[in-house]
Amino acid sequence: MPDSRVPRRRRYLVCEPRHFAVQYAINPWMHPDEPVDVIRALDQWQALVDTYRAHGHTVDTVKPVPGLPDMVFAANAAVVVDGRVFGSLFHAPERRPESVPYEAWFKTEGYEVYHPESVCEGEGDIVPAGRWILAGTGFRTTREAHSEVQEYFGVPVIGLTLVDPYFYHLDTALFVLDEGPDGNIAYYPEAFSPGSREVLARLYPDAVLATREDAMAFGLNSVSDGRHVFISPGATDLAGQLADRGYVPVPVDLSEFRKAGGGIKCCTQEIREIRS
């Protein structure tokens, strides 16, 4: 395939996993009796940050707060579209305090932050996809939040129902490869309800379809800049499919974060400014 994919420089917000731990269980991946190797997590996280910067992307950091072990999962804190910030209201009481330091960071940077009235877990379930926003529900973010997102951004929202608890956030079952008018996605069909699978098939007839094995390896918790796809090294079949489509898979091992049900995208909040 011609080498025609063009990357777009991105701005990412991340949070160092200084206090990362599995202290409670709010998804099937979490087992508090399995210890976390914090040093290994720090090394893996730093490798992700270094990889982003090596590919020309800007990386900002928010200071971690003691007692918030999941704060490393920056994607859940907000959704930013055209420089407007839609904040978070977490489903689990243990995570609700995370919204405060992220909101403070955005305000320090000069942004106003919208407070959702309904449960909404940021880019975990709200995925900007060019002409519309894909929005997950079923385990965390509510359908009422989908309406709030649409009213706030003025962008059509496509609701998708997740049915497999291992894929409790939309960003564990789907990621956007390109956000342009002819944008495309990769996803795992069986993570969705029958009606949602039909919607995705209509919207993205040429989508990259992942196997359960690659989805369970967090291959769909990936980040794409339009050419490079930062992906779990365990998602080998998916990486091969992407390479066949002209993308460049960039393996980054964040396996320590899988103990909390997270991966590359979970650790990455994208700040989308108004494009000129």
Active site residues: 169, 266
Collect all residues with Cβ–Cβ distance below 8 Å to 161 and sequence separation of at least 6.
136, 137, 138, 192, 193, 195, 196
Of 272, 273, 41, 60, which Cα lies nearest the Cα of 176? Answer: 272
The number of beta carbons lying within 10 Å of the beta carbon of residue 215 is 25
| Joined tokens for residue 101 | 């330091």
Least Cα distance to 179 among 143, 219, 128, 221 occurs for 128
Evaluate whether 96 touches 70 at the Cβ level (below 8 Å): no
| Burial class for 221, CB neighbours closer than 10 Å (0-12, 13-18, 19+) | buried
Could you tell me if 95 and 76 are in contact, meaning their C-beta atoms sit under 8 angstroms apart? yes
Q: What is the Cα–Cα distance from 83 to 68, expressed in whole angstroms?
A: 26
128 pairs with which residues across the strands?
133
